[in-house]
Amino acid sequence: MGLIISVDIGGTQIRAALYRRDSLNALRVEKIKTLAEQPGVFQRLEGLVASIWPSDEKVDAIGLASPGPLDPHTGTIIATPNIKEWRNFPLGETLSEKFGVPVFMDNDANLACMGEWKYGAGQGHHNVLFLTISTGIGGGVIVHDRLLQGFHGLAAELGHVTILPDGPMCGCGKRGHIEALASGPAIVQYIREQVKAGRTSSLANLKNLTTRDVVEAARNGDLLALETMQRAGKYLGIAVANYLAIFDPSIVIFGGGVSQSGPVLFDAFHASLNETVFDPTYLKNLAFARAALGDDAGLLGALALATVSTPDH
Amino acid sequence: MGLIISVDIGGTQIRAALYRRDSLNALRVEKIKTLAEQPGVFQRLEGLVASIWPSDEKVDAIGLASPGPLDPHTGTIIATPNIKEWRNFPLGETLSEKFGVPVFMDNDANLACMGEWKYGAGQGHHNVLFLTISTGIGGGVIVHDRLLQGFHGLAAELGHVTILPDGPMCGCGKRGHIEALASGPAIVQYIREQVKAGRTSSLANLKNLTTRDVVEAARNGDLLALETMQRAGKYLGIAVANYLAIFDPSIVIFGGGVSQSGPVLFDAFHASLNETVFDPTYLKNLAFARAALGDDAGLLGALALATVSTPDH
């Protein structure tokens, strides 16, 4: 049984791990700093992979998770927010040539979804909706036991779907996306606007306001904070109702820091979902879960992708 | 090579056809009136299928298209707007027992999509978005060469997705669905509301107003009619922009009467789509097409489903 090497490219560090197919216990794990502003990221990545390459066993494939946008069909990094020198960079092909094995890659949200499906909260499900809610909202979808990738490899951008035309501006420059209504920055932004408009709040004078502060204040009875979390929950409910009508999954998995907000977010979410869902049948036996793989989601998602994409020798 | 029997259940008639696998020329076609209000629809359907059953060759499977909602996994009609006696009726199983062959079924919009993909406008595409716009808005999606069905078999209800919270009431009882903004009845309703509110229009005194009248008036320079079609086009553009970010298809196929409105609808549609699409890459090499199969979409979609679902003997 061959081995798989997984790589998770992050803004601050790049991690690589050596796995036996479908075993979650890494045989070796190494990491380096990304040093994204300095040239030679690829050479550092190459050295990292070489450092865990086995001397006596065959590697079937390399799986790789990277922030997008990227083209999983060609293995090209189109652009990544962190690594400036990687623009339209054929990362998969270059890495494949260096090591003589196929490279399979996708963006971090898609692979987190795939990891949760194969090894985490989504095991046993055939149709999975995954949403990660933090500084942005990312999505991944398993449709009939396969990762949804699409024609250009850009499917499942579930944070960038308009649900409130003429709504607040999203980080991407478009209006009314769910990311502009329910992500961490959207929550903080709404508090700031309301305070500016004269609303009182215990958060009014807080500098460097975070979603965690808002959640804490909401739990402590701050009305503006509670209303803000409920507003995010309401729109999240509308978005998920839409995704149920679109994908009809058997499980919805939430990842990311904002999804740890508890009842101040999720009470409003479920109320909104129940109110707006097209048909109650979608909710029948529908599971809700929190992402289970934590920091290893990228590595394990890349392992899952490489494993399903290559025959077992 | 075995034969396939296709059945298309409509509100006024039921059609059945005998095909050789993947040949579009029916060997036999018969139809009967549905007589939906009278009992015994199943017995009439059984007789219809028997009337085209071949005496000397093997039938591999029956494919069946019906208005939804239905469960394609179990072959159960949950409810159909026309045939009152079919509530939670195990149509697939009952038909399969009668004729001793497997029965594969799905709703008419999904199967129209499948038919277009296999035999019509979507041939050669692996990721297809199909929207039919008439009295309602129905959808179907091919993801990586497979019909999207979902956990309960209720996926791709693309007309019942909220894009304008607090918007107009949809026929289904929820607000702001694209069906409530761009279907035929939504267009007529908007004209009526605006006339009631005092707007002048050549349509003001027309009884039994239809979308065709609105399109005609828009072409003839009626400002309210034009604005109404542009409004429908605008929201349709937002909906399709969302579906690009969600599915990233290589082709968008439009069916249904409203999709024959021409530039008065589609100029505004494309302007809105170009403005709201998350990333211009989605539009790269994206094809737009009109449905090609016409009245045979149901029969051919059922043929496609039965063909891909059974091995060729």
User: Given an 8 Å threshold on Cβ–Cβ distance, is A250 in contact with B151?
Assistant: yes
DSSP H stretches of helix in chain A: 41-52, 91-99, 108-119, 179-182, 184-196, 211-219, 223-247, 263-276, 297-309
Beta-carbon neighbour count of residue B88 at 10 Å?
Answer: 9
Would you tell me which residues 8-67 of chain B have a C-beta closer than 8 angstroms to some C-beta of chain A?
none
pLDDT exceeds cutoff 80 at B111? yes
| Minimal CA separation from B156 to chain A, in Å | 5
pLDDT exceeds cutoff 70 at A313? no
Instruction: Count H helices and E strands in chain B, helices first.
Output: 9, 12
> Quick one: tokens of B284?
């790269």
Would you tell me which residues 205-244 of chain A have a C-beta closer than 8 angstroms to some C-beta of chain B?
235, 238, 241-242
Rounded Cα distance between B29 and B31, Å, is: 7
Q: What is the pLDDT of residues B200-234, one digit of tens each?
A: 999 999 989 999 999 999 999 999 999 999 999 99
Average pLDDT, chain B: 95
From the list A118, A166, A162, A108, the residue with the least C-alpha distance to A139 is A108
Rounded Cα distance between A65 and A298, Å, is: 6
User: Given an 8 Å threshold on Cβ–Cβ distance, is B154 in contact with A248?
Assistant: yes
The residue-averaged pLDDT of B83-104 equals 95
pLDDT at A82: 76
The residue-averaged pLDDT of B100-123 equals 97
The alpha carbon of B142 is separated from its chain's Cα centroid by a whole number of angstroms, namely 13
Map out the domains of chain A with their CATH numbers.
Answer: 3-113+295-309 (3.30.420.40), 123-291 (3.30.420.40)
User: Given an 8 Å threshold on Cβ–Cβ distance, is A245 in contact with B161?
Assistant: yes
Cα A307 to Cα A94, A292, A310, distances in angstroms: 20, 20, 6
The residue-averaged pLDDT of B241-267 equals 97
Q: Which chain A positions have a beta carbon within 8 Å of B148's beta carbon?
A: 143-144, 247
Q: Which residues pair with A208 in a beta bridge?
A: none
pLDDT-derived band at B313 (thresholds 50, 70, 90) equals: low
State whether residue B97 sits within 8 Å of chain A by CB: no
Q: What is the pLDDT of residues A211-258, one digit of tens each?
A: 999 999 999 999 999 999 999 999 999 999 999 999 999 999 999 999
pTM more than 0.90:
yes
pLDDT-derived band at A312 (thresholds 50, 70, 90) equals: confident
From the list A120, A119, A118, A154, the residue with the least C-alpha distance to A139 is A154
